[in-house]
Amino acid sequence: MQRWPIVGTVAAVLLGSVFLYQVPNQDDPVLVAADPSNVRSAIYLPSPLTASWYCAIGTSDASGYADHTVHITNASGDEATATLSIVTEDGPGPALRLELGAFATESVDLNRVTSAENSAVVVEIVGGQGVVGHDVETQFGLASGPCSSTVAGNWYFASGSTRRDTNQYLALMNPFGEDVVLDVVFRTATRERRPEDLTSFPVQGRTVKIINVADYVSIEPVVATTITAIQGRVVAEQLQVVNGELGPSGAALTLGVAGPSTEWNIPAGRVTETGDHQLVIFNPGDQQSEIELSIDLSTTEQRAAYGLVPIELTVQPGRFESLDIADLLGALQVPLPIEFGVRVVADNGVPVVVSRSQLYPLVDNSLVGAEDSGATVEVAGGEADVPPDPSIEPDESEIVEDPDREIITVDPTTIERRDPVGSGAITSGDTLGGNLLRQDGEPEEDEDDIAIEDLVSVSLEQIILGDSAQASPLTGLSARPGYAYMADQWVVPYHRYLPEGGTVLLISAPLDALVSIRGMAGGRLLEPQRVAVTGETRRVVSVVLPVPQSALWITSDAPIAIEVQTVDLDGRLTVTGAVPVLSR
């Protein structure tokens, strides 16, 4: 990994580029169906004079639990200056000033700058168009993600876990001089918990506080968190580390959500029999939310073939629904494995928070204790401290079809759980149902296919992945909130890329979209990969670059949502989010 003080990117000679049919020139981006209160990370156009970014969790101690590296990218053709200021539990730490060339990245390993058990970072960028991401290296895997450009008084995490094999760390960073006072509330499947220690919890100015959630909520497979500022504003980020005791191992970074939304999009998902794929819908409000959940496959023909129609759920106030997607699709008689995306809409206008997690391999329930159920399907019920709505009659059937609206209602508590014993490991090359149609040789006359104008050095199979081409994880953890907005331009923070399907870009589009994907190296944007995405479907695109690490600039002629997934040669999964480019 590139480390400070040896910083910057190396000029690269393009060995070959892929040209597919031309994407029209982009106008200035337009904010599409986005509430600014929901934006955790974003680049804005026109750019403010100074852009600030906040990386809340990590360590700079040789014996720390999460070695912290920060990547600062200038995603423009103009030079820029970045000031990196370290914030610890005890107060401000050292500061660095870095010069950023055009389309260049500087990487700072905090272990080489200071020594502190917990080291958050504030990055202020003048000039250019900056975006900041960070990595934390744990004993059980690497976690990557964008830093936050939002400081807010309220934060929400739809899911976490304090199962006995999992550590859940919550970072609360106060980048300002004034003290902040917070209330932190946890919701489990059975009750709400308001720890006395975290009521009117102080976070002094220019400090970061780390909470080990297991100190307050022990042995729970799903934990939702609400942070409310009585005074001031903070940045909230979560780190989960799974130690392999029950099978899975890995780490995942999750930014908090600054506000619930009535619509969420999740572009990425591979569901198999041998991995947990969990969707959590958390309703932090005081009214019940009527949810319509739609599953997007790679083509509209697939959705029709499997008979997929929207699913209707009710989430009670202050509660969550936690669905295992594999069990849900199994109940809908959809063959596994399969690639999918998810859209969640609150039909009655009561906003929610949505999160998706992937866990490989499947938790071995034979190792789970009586109190630690490790359940892959949880519904927030049990001891009802919020009475149910008497106007809603309970649905005692597993699946009930409503022919008038083509919506099915699912009671997740009745779905049979899977048994991982004897399921075997996932290997690269497993057959996947529902991925992209493999395109060998000349393209067929099909609206889903891409017309090739030129092809140099790289075959199309390396770019648009077929049903068995994408690498399958053997182990790893991913946990990310959904997107409450879509955009026509995105930046992926500095990230490593593996060839032959090891790193893929997952694209979800509600409308037909032509997408251009460009790396950054040598002071310029690299030649683009271009791909078409049919509306209400998703694409899995192998990222092919002449450099091993780069930020990505992605543009489209219609709003899209994206995510990057990497499976390394050891089969370990790493997932990173992207940053939308929005107009002010």
In a shared domain, residues 461 and 571: yes
In a shared domain, residues 403 and 517: no
Domain CATH for 564: 2.60.290.11
Residue ranges of alpha helices (H) inside 67-144 are: none
Identify the CA nearest to 315 among candidates 288, 340, 296, 337.
288
Average pLDDT over residues 241-264: 95
CB 274 within 8 A of CB 362: yes
Q: What percentage of the chain exceeds 70 in pLDDT?
A: 75
In a shared domain, residues 548 and 488: yes
Average pLDDT over residues 82-106: 95
pLDDT value at position 35?
54
Q: Say how many CA atoms lie within 13 Å of 315 toward its Cβ.
A: 33
Does some domain include residue 212?
A: no
Element containing residue 304 per DSSP (H, E): helix 300-305
pLDDT value at position 19?
26
In a 3-state reduction of DSSP, which class is residue 325? helix
Does some domain include residue 483?
A: yes
pLDDT value at position 279?
95
pLDDT value at position 74?
95
In a shared domain, residues 463 and 538: yes
In a shared domain, residues 323 and 463: no
User: Which range marks the domain in which residue 515 is found?
Assistant: 452-583
Strands 311-315 and 407-410 turn out to be parallel
Identify the CA nearest to 279 among candidates 238, 320, 314, 330.
320
Mark residue 508 as left, alpha or beta (left: phi above 0; alpha: psi -120 to 50; beta: remaining). beta
Does some domain include residue 481?
A: yes
pLDDT greater than 90 at residue 328: no
CB 229 within 8 A of CB 178: no
Number of folded domains in the chain? Answer: 2
pLDDT greater than 60 at residue 158: yes
> In the beta sheet, which residues pair with residue 475?
572
Does some domain include residue 71?
A: no
In a shared domain, residues 378 and 463: no
Residue with tokens 């191992």, as numbered in its chain: 249
Q: Rounded to an integer, what distance in angstroms lies between the CA atom of residue 203 and that of residue 208?
A: 7
pLDDT value at position 367?
67
Element containing residue 327 per DSSP (H, E): helix 325-331
In a shared domain, residues 467 and 565: yes
Does some domain include residue 166?
A: no
pTM above 0.75, yes or no: yes
Does some domain include residue 465?
A: yes
pLDDT digits (tens, 9 = 90+) for 14-30: 223 222 222 333 333 33
- Judge if the upstream peptide bond of residue 361 is cis by omega within 30 degrees of 0: yes
How far is the first Cα of the chain from the last one, in angstroms, to the nearest whole number? 35
In a shared domain, residues 471 and 564: yes
Residue 180: other Cβ atoms inside 10 A: 23
pLDDT value at position 170?
98
Q: What is the DSSP letter of 328?
A: H
Mean of per-residue pLDDT scores for the chain: 78
> In the beta sheet, which residues pair with residue 20?
452
In a shared domain, residues 410 and 458: no
Identify the CA nearest to 147 among candidates 70, 229, 232.
70
458 CB-near residues (< 8 Å, 6+ apart): 16, 17, 18, 544
Strands 475-481 and 572-576 turn out to be parallel
Does some domain include residue 560?
A: yes
Element containing residue 487 per DSSP (H, E): strand 487-496
Q: What percentage of the chain exceeds 90 in pLDDT?
A: 53
Residue 101: other Cβ atoms inside 10 A: 17
In a shared domain, residues 473 and 400: no
Average pLDDT over residues 226-232: 97
pLDDT digits (tens, 9 = 90+) for 332-364: 778 877 878 899 999 999 999 999 999 999 887
pLDDT greater than 90 at residue 138: yes
Does some domain include residue 58?
A: no
Q: Rounded to an integer, what distance in angstroms lies between the CA atom of residue 468 and that of residue 431?
A: 5
In a shared domain, residues 464 and 408: no
In a 3-state reduction of DSSP, which class is residue 303? helix
pLDDT value at position 49?
62
Residue with tokens 């991913």, as numbered in its chain: 478
In a shared domain, residues 410 and 536: no
pLDDT confidence band for 425 (50 / 70 / 90): very low
